[in-house]
């Protein structure tokens, strides 16, 4: 197995190693033939098992800061089946810290079943508070309230934003770009990823700039819309440039987002998306998730159907994980199998 590069052109902030890195870059021969492009998957679904997916790359940097500040509990938030919250809870347990999750659900008095990511959250001992959509909209205030509550209990909390998406978390995907630059033969390429809270996109954009690579970075949003992601990703990139004094030029007009693939809404699936997820599993033995990578891959194939050269000759699809999101969809998938 290849080992992590010890020397780097980039001066990274401190991190706690938790992810299995580097993740493999795999050519997808059968899908490439079907789509008429040279398609690769960056297998960030293989960063771990319970800890799998993109979030752990960001959390390595965020946990390093939490530990340095003497925290003993991390607070974070997300949707009820959040991969980010699950990864945070698992990483916290691995490091001997506690975790407190604010999970958004339709009716907090009737919380969802303990399955998939929620099962893992509970298994590793996360404290869960169910919050309604209106409460979630004011999550910044909730973080302050929960932090005060934890302090009153004698804890030292550290707050991690939704998706681990901030200037520090973005380093996780700067590092991923550096990894990719060692894996992919030189030349132009387009990186395609699912945009959920913006941190992955921000890190990819920064990494490509810092390393001066001839690569495009294209997000497919799985919630909200293009304007929202240009703002959110733009803010993270700008904050990272300022906080870490990065020597790069950036303008929000450079952010590429392909909108139009949210479908029935965040975490809601259409039969055509699930059918493609099945077809990818059968063609390549790769399991996408219905909430993020399945939608982004669906968007990628629709864009290629419209314009076979939309992303050039060579495409790297970021498989950012999310497998546990499949399990609550078993009943919807069953008729397609």
Q: Are 232 and 198 in contact (CB under 8 A)?
A: yes
Measured distance CA(91)–CA(111) in Å, rounded: 24
Q: Please, is 94 exposed, middle or buried when counting C-beta atoms within 10 Å of its C-beta (0-12, 13-18, 19+)?
A: middle
- The CA distance from 106 to 132, in Å, is 6
> Residue from 105, 117, 181, 197 that binds ligand PLP (CB under 6 A)?
197
Site string for ligand PLP, 125-164 (x = CB under 6 A): --------------------------------------x-
Q: Of these, 48, 98, 196, 207, which contacts ligand PLP (CB under 6 A)?
A: 196
Residue from 77, 92, 195, 217 touching ligand PLP (CB under 6 A): that is 195
Strands (E), 225-283: 256-258
42 near ligand PLP (CB under 6 A)? no
Residue 269 among the catalytic residues: no
Question: For ligand PLP, which residue of 83, 99, 105, 190 counts as binding (CB under 6 A)?
Answer: 83
Among 23, 73, 117, 165, binds ligand PLP (CB under 6 A): 165
Nearer to ligand PLP, 105 or 293 (CB): 293
Burial code (b: 16+ CB inside 10 Å, e: under 16) for 157-187 equals bbbbbbbbbbbbbbbbbbbbbbbbbeebeee
Is the omega angle on the peptide bond into residue 22 within 30 degrees of 0, that is, cis? yes
Is residue 199 part of the contact set for ligand PLP (CB under 6 A)?
Answer: yes
x-marked contacts with ligand PLP along 85-124 as a string, rule CB under 6 A: ----------------------------------------
Q: How far is Cα of residue 92 from the mean position of the Cα atoms in its chain?
A: 18
Kindly state whether residue 84 participates in binding ligand PLP, applying the rule CB under 6 A. yes
Residue 245: helix, strand or coil by DSSP? coil
For residues 219 and 171, give the distance between their C-alpha atoms in angstroms, rounded to a whole number. Answer: 17
Site string for ligand PLP, 298-327 (x = CB under 6 A): ----------------------xxx-----
Per the residue annotation, which of 3, 38, 52, 82 is the catalytic one? 82
Please state, in angstroms and rounded to a whole number, the distance separating the CA atoms of residues 307 and 72.
51
Instruction: Give the residue numbers marked as catalytic.
Output: 82
Site residues (vs ligand PLP, CB under 6 A): 53-54, 83-84, 163, 165, 194-201, 289, 292-293, 320-322
């Amino acid at each position: 197995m290849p080992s992590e590069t010890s020397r780097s052109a980039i001066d990274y902030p401190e991190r706690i190693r938790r992810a299995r890195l580097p993740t493999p870059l795999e050519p997808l021969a059968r899908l490439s033939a079907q789509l008429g492009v040279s398609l690769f998957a960056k297998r960030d679904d293989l960063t771990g098992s319970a800890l799998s997916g993109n979030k752990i790359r960001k959390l390595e940097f965020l946990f390093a800061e939490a530990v340095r500040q003497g925290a003993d509990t991390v607070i974070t938030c997300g949707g009820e089946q959040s991969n980010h919250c699950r990864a945070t809870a698992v990483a916290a347990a691995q490091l001997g810290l506690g975790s407190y999750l604010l999970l958004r659900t339709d009716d907090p008095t009737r919380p969802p079943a303990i399955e998939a990511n929620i099962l893992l959250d509970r298994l590793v001992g996360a404290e869960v508070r169910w919050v309604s959509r209106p409460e979630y909209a004011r999550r910044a205030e909730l973080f302050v309230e929960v932090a005060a509550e934890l302090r009153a209990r004698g804890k030292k909390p550290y707050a991690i934003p939704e998706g681990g998406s901030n200037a520090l978390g973005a380093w996780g995907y700067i590092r991923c770009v550096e990894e990719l630059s060692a894996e992919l033969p030189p030349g132009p390429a387009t990186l395609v990823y699912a945009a959920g809270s913006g941190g992955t996109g921000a890190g990819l954009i920064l990494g490509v700039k810092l390393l001066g690579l001839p690569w495009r970075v294209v997000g497919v949003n799985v919630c909200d819309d293009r304007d929202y992601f240009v703002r959110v990703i733009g803010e993270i990139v700008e904050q990272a440039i300022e906080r870490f004094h990065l020597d790069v030029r950036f303008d929000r007009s450079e952010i590429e987002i392909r909108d139009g693939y949210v479908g029935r809404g965040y975490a809601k699936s259409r039969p055509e998306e699930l059918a493609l997820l099945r077809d990818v599993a059968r063609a390549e033995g790769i399991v996408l998730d219905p909430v993020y990578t399945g939608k982004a891959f669906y968007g990628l194939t629709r864009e290629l159907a419209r314009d076979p050269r939309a992303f050039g000759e060579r495409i790297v699809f970021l498989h950012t994980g999310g497998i546990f999101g499949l399990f609550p969809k078993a009943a919807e998938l069953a008729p397609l199998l």
